[in-house]
A = this chain, B = another copy of it.
Amino acid sequence: MLGKTYPGQDCSAARALEIVGERWTLLILRDAMFRGYVRYSQFTESLGIATNILARRLEGLVAAGLMEIRTPMSRSDHVEYHLTRKGLDLKPVIVALTQWGDAWLGPGPVTFRDAATGAEVSLGFQTADGRAPEVGAVVARRRTPPTI
């Protein structure tokens, strides 16, 4: 995870996958983001992951700045793993995977909603003027370098 696992790839998606592309990592983040899990035992019970692998993944997530270790003042006998803003910002990745799974593998057990209003939330493409292009219409273009 720390050594470049996709060498020679000048691409943000590849660099992101060097951090979150390993087995189990995105499911750990899912549990933290949408189930509020913070403790080691919660992750093991939820995932059935081997304990040595979980320890390694949590260590990597903390090292990468996606999670941080907190020790609650009340219960100082254990630590908690909390998402940072950097980790929380991966929510669209999880939602995108979920929406694809719902659409192509059959609906799963959850939908996404706005916590304040309860309105259903979806993830989609949008332009500055408020249009929603089709998937097929979205293309990648080389970024115009800022002319300093």
Number of copies: 2
Besides the known contacts A11-B30, A12-B97, A119-B131, 6 further A-B residue pairs in the complex with CB atoms under 8 A apart: A6-B27, A13-B27, A95-B138, A107-B143, A114-B133, A123-B123
A120 touches B128 (CB 8 A): yes
Distance to closest chain B CB from A60 (angstroms): 15
Q: Hey, which chain B residues are within 8 Å of A128, CB to CB? A: 119-120
Q: Hey, which chain B residues are within 8 Å of A97, CB to CB? A: 12-13, 16-17, 20, 93
A contact face: mostly helix, strand, loop, or mixed: mixed
B48 touches A8 (CB 8 A): yes
Instruction: Please tell me the size bucket of the interface on A.
Output: 35 or more
A90 at the interface (CB under 8 A from B): yes
Bound: A130/B16 CA distance, A: 29
A50 at the interface (CB under 8 A from B): no
